[in-house]
Amino acid sequence: LCALHAAGIPPERAFEALQSFRGVKHRLEFLRNIQEVALYDDTAATSPAATHAAISALLERHSSVHVLVGGDAKGNEYSALKELITDPRVHLIGLGGSAAETLCGSGSTRATSLKEGIQLALDQCKKEDAVLVSPAGAGFHTAHSEGKGPGLRALLRRWGR
């Protein structure tokens, strides 16, 4: 805001712009509510740090966060994320790949498709929980995009209809 003020932009215009900002696609982007559960697209989060940040942010707003993870770990450091997911309010669903194998213990829920993973998450959720698709691994978006079943947006547009 200070920079905008210094550039001569009136505060009213700056606040209007901030209020109308919808966020960046695939970056902790709210998509819709299903059964009073908020669904977020964070598929651009292909590193453990990005997924950690998303989970931390949603834990401030929701009682529990059900996270779909997967993709290629590519030698990333997962210790901070592993520590965060010990929080009893965080529930993981693995969608394949070495990132899911690294994060999901033997008792974790697994899914074979994005649709199955979302359904499993919704089945576990209570009102005001969140479902977060935040892979923490590379290649997730490609593995779960059009041509291999509907992508996240297309899937959620049709959900329950």
93-130 residue pLDDT tens: 999 899 999 999 877 899 999 999 999 999 999 999 99
User: Is residue 146 predicted with pLDDT exceeding 60?
Assistant: no
Average pLDDT, stretch 82-91? 96
Number of DSSP helices (H) and strands (E) in the chain, helices first: 8, 6
Q: What is the mean pLDDT of residues 53-80?
A: 97
Confidence of residue 40 (pLDDT cuts 50, 70, 90): very high
Q: Given a cut of 70, is residue 58 above it in pLDDT?
A: yes
pLDDT at site 154: 84
pTM: 0.85
What is the pLDDT, as a whole number, of residue 11? 86
Only one residue has tokens 């929701």, namely 62
Q: pLDDT at position 95, please?
A: 94
Non-local (6+) Cβ contacts of 91 within 8 A are 64, 65, 66, 67, 109, 121, 124
Contact indicator for 95, 129 with CB cutoff of 8 Å = no
Q: Which two tokens stand for residue 38?
A: 């908020």
